[in-house]
Structure 1
């Protein structure tokens, strides 16, 4: 397989790249395109920086000329689109960048990919795939008694981020039904695990706790999310790429619904065990409730019966095992976090990529 992975220096994308290159033998070439915005970190790719199969390119999915060049030059067999602006709070402050990347960027990526695909020889054309990685946030919010999201749940996005991802999902679907482009879409629940940018809930709480700072919890802390360990998600994506039915959407969930308050309490208990405070107090004393963010969805939950039934996928990690692995990783990689907090990771980019 020759893969073009967009957004491959971000959290989920870099985990996918590492999994493919370090654990699989069927990847002949992996071209990794990332714009390197605030969340893209070349240090995530250090384990494969000397792997000749890995080609890193700094660039934008909206750059049609660059995409066309990469597809043709490397004879790409599949495109996996992880590239996205993905932080809800940032989308509230500045929605235009989310529309530009997630909607316009995806449209240009689709157009360029389609032009490449139409010229392939019949055998390669039939085998080609475009896999789009999306989110459960496109489905909106659930009440406590509502059933989990299925692939048939109508879209009802409630944030600029979710709306932009919904738009990109619709475009992917349209390119299949209108032009026949062989697409696949995955909609995942909240990911967590190694290499996650520290603005997100779990790494933010770990880092703040270790630095003795407040652990800010929105509202009453009872907003519920379905937590998916990132490596389980990456395994699901590759299964969908290899065996998913063209044109179909597959929901990927962790089967771990937890309110934010319970997540923070569990993190505190793990840190109390693995890295006790010098003053003997529990990290729970750092919890602080803050004003809720605008339009904060109350509950997400994923019904992943389809991917289990059709492809045999199930998450390998429970929330207990996955969260412990996550905390252990952040404790063992304090310098990685410090470089992000200080902005040093941006200054080191040229050295890492050269």
Structure 2
């Protein structure tokens, strides 16, 4: 494969995917509405086709203009988008859909492709735009990929959990980096042993390319850090990259109530462990970036940005009330 069309391509996963594809010799075109800054605007190796991916006519025009070997769908949020794309790009050598670990419908450790059931999806959920139905919609997109494969289309999907790294506009990790960078005491919900699978964004990018090149039609592939860390270990990793020392203070629901905080208010916390098996992807030759290296890049990017995650977690005043009570115990 020589040419690639990235639907999306300017913000986070898509941006890193474009970099990865360029490094591996692809001619790359990005397709999006142009509502976000294009980091490749001055890069003559990357072409841009403007259009709304929810407009089938615009997608069909892009297919005829670019005639890509591989299509990477980074912004398919509704099942109908996947069904349309697999039809429009049916003649391509590979179509890869960015699904999600949230597509799984049963709590298992680990969650495995083809074994752990997916979320169901009603007609109402399929057209909803709320976060409550995100996993349902992604699961139905996976089923659309499988249906396309049954029609002879080389369609596949990749399921990442929480993605982190440079240019992460969700600021989920930035909240924690900011806390470790600015304070001596970091409040960690629960006992610190919570496990929620995460994945470095460049590893998602390489996974998408590898699945396009080596994956099997109709298959889904989990992608995630090959070494998992607890929430407290993640804080320690951040502190090591910042070359600082912090005191981790644990707080359960009763202590957090003093600051009117709940466990789930902390980004990256999840009451039940969320773990994906990545053996299937690794069997294709994919490898993950060492955690220290990945976190180092994430921290460096945070320090160079104006992101602090302050809108996405408990306020420090509320945390201080909890910390004050814990120190008197």
> What TM-score bracket applies, with the shorter chain setting the length?
0.7 to 0.9
> What is the Cα deviation at residue 296 of structure 1?
5.0
1:153 to 2:116 alignment: yes
> What is the Cα deviation at residue 55 of structure 1?
2.2
Q: Matched residues in 1 for 2:160 and 2:64: separation?
A: 30
Unpaired runs of at least 5, structure 2: 121-130, 312-329
Question: Would the aligned equivalents of 1:224 and 1:299 in 2 still touch at CA under 8 Å?
Answer: yes
Question: Would the aligned equivalents of 1:6 and 1:82 in 2 still touch at CA under 8 Å?
Answer: yes
Counterpart of 1:104 (choices 80, 86, 91) is 80
1:30 to 2:3 alignment: no
1:303 equivalent in structure 2: 277
The 5 A counterparts of 1:26-105 are 27-33=26-32, 36=35, 41-42=36-37, 45-46=38-39, 48-84=40-76, 101-105=77-81
1:129 equivalent in structure 2: 94
Q: Quickly say closer, same or farther: Cα 1:194–1:251, change in 2 above 3 A.
A: same
Q: Matched residues in 1 for 2:174 and 2:225: separation?
A: 18
1:16 equivalent in structure 2: 17
Question: Would the aligned equivalents of 1:226 and 1:256 in 2 still touch at CA under 8 Å?
Answer: no
Counterpart of 1:232 (choices 203, 213, 216) is 203
2:300 equivalent in structure 1: 328
1:93 equivalent in structure 2: none
Q: Quickly say closer, same or farther: Cα 1:159–1:35, change in 2 above 3 A.
A: farther
Question: Would the aligned equivalents of 1:32 and 1:54 in 2 still touch at CA under 8 Å?
Answer: no
> What is the Cα deviation at residue 303 of structure 1?
1.7
> What is the Cα deviation at residue 183 of structure 1?
0.5
RMSD: 3.4
2:163 equivalent in structure 1: 191
Question: Would the aligned equivalents of 1:268 and 1:282 in 2 still touch at CA under 8 Å?
Answer: yes
Q: Quickly say closer, same or farther: Cα 1:169–1:211, change in 2 above 3 A.
A: same
TM-score (norm 1): 0.70
2:241 equivalent in structure 1: 270
Q: Matched residues in 2 for 1:141 and 1:213: separation?
A: 38
SS at match of 2:229: strand
> What is the Cα deviation at residue 248 of structure 1?
2.0
Q: Matched residues in 2 for 1:329 and 1:50: separation?
A: 21
> What is the Cα deviation at residue 269 of structure 1?
4.3
SS at match of 2:138: helix
SS at match of 2:4: strand
Q: Matched residues in 2 for 1:286 and 1:270: separation?
A: 22
Q: Quickly say closer, same or farther: Cα 1:299–1:57, change in 2 above 3 A.
A: farther
1:164 to 2:137 alignment: yes
Q: Quickly say closer, same or farther: Cα 1:285–1:147, change in 2 above 3 A.
A: closer
Question: Would the aligned equivalents of 1:103 and 1:167 in 2 still touch at CA under 8 Å?
Answer: yes
2:154 equivalent in structure 1: 182
Q: Quickly say closer, same or farther: Cα 1:247–1:156, change in 2 above 3 A.
A: closer
Q: Matched residues in 2 for 1:7 and 1:266: separation?
A: 31
Question: Would the aligned equivalents of 1:128 and 1:182 in 2 still touch at CA under 8 Å?
Answer: yes
Question: Would the aligned equivalents of 1:224 and 1:257 in 2 still touch at CA under 8 Å?
Answer: yes
Structure that is richer in helix per residue: 1
> What is the Cα deviation at residue 297 of structure 1?
5.8
SS at match of 1:257: coil
> What is the Cα deviation at residue 170 of structure 1?
1.1
SS at match of 2:233: helix
Q: Matched residues in 2 for 1:222 and 1:286: separation?
A: 10
Q: Quickly say closer, same or farther: Cα 1:105–1:297, change in 2 above 3 A.
A: farther
